[in-house]
Amino acid sequence: MKFTKEDARKRVLNCAKQYQQNLLHKKLLIIFREKQDNSIRFIEVVFHERNYQHLTGLELINTEGKILQHQSMNFYRKCIENKLGLNEFQFKSDGTSHLKLAALPVLMDVTKITKITGDYNNLRPYLFVDKVMGGINFCLGLSRENDVFVPSSALLEDIKKLTASPSQVLAIFEKDIDSELYSTVKHIAKGLNLHHLILPPEINSKILLPK
């Protein structure tokens, strides 16, 4: 799927607003059953303004066509304010931009498609992520930042191809970045009763289970 610059622009402006609505300043707690040893583990994923550009695969350029580095906040602001000009961005030369743009709209609702997570298996030469979360058609590449993860790539791929140990996601909780406890449940694995699940203390201390 190849996008024209006009299509790409429309898509990133539209998705920026969905990102703002659904994900911005949110923190997700992904609870999963580790495939290797069956233990229950978790990761936390946080969404900032500066992470959005990485998901689009687009590069900001100046009037001479030179790539502008470290402009991700500026890129996001331009998208939110509908001010991204067609001459202000370009596709990446490695062809990944079109794949990211194709996956982008679905990933604005990432908690709906996430059934699996796992460590990235370094299969793709241009993909630099630590973990992946998602499903059989789309997934989100995550990069580690201190003790949390941030979204760094939108992928139009079956997650099982990108991780050697696909682990089942048991539940996804959400909270605002500055809230203390997770209390909103966004996803529970089919047939699972959260109240019957024996969770490790480090997960229990982070969540407030709905009655």
Helix (H) or strand (E) holding 53: helix 52-56
Total domains in the fold of the chain: 1
Cα distance between residue 134 and residue 117, in whole Å? 7
Mean pLDDT of the chain: 94
Count of alpha carbons within 13 angstroms of residue 135, beta-carbon side: 12
Phi, psi of 29 (to 5 degrees): -110, 115
> What local confidence, expressed as pLDDT, does residue 125 receive?
67
199 located within any domain: no
Paired with 198 in beta bridges are none
> What local confidence, expressed as pLDDT, does residue 35 receive?
87
211 located within any domain: no
Answer whether 0.85 is exceeded by the pTM. yes
Cα angle at 37 between 162 and 171, to 5 degrees?
A: 65
106 located within any domain: yes
Q: Which domain holds residue 176?
A: 5-189
Q: Pick left, alpha or beta for residue 26 (phi over 0 → left; psi -120 to 50 → alpha; otherwise beta).
A: beta
Model pLDDT for residues 37-89, shown as the tens digit of each residue: 999 999 999 999 999 999 999 999 999 999 999 999 999 999 999 999 999 99
Closest to 154 in 3D by CA, of 140, 168, 165, 166:
140
> What local confidence, expressed as pLDDT, does residue 209 receive?
87
46 located within any domain: yes
> What local confidence, expressed as pLDDT, does residue 95 receive?
85
Paired with 90 in beta bridges are 59
85 located within any domain: yes
> What local confidence, expressed as pLDDT, does residue 193 receive?
93
Which residues in the chain show pLDDT less than 50? none
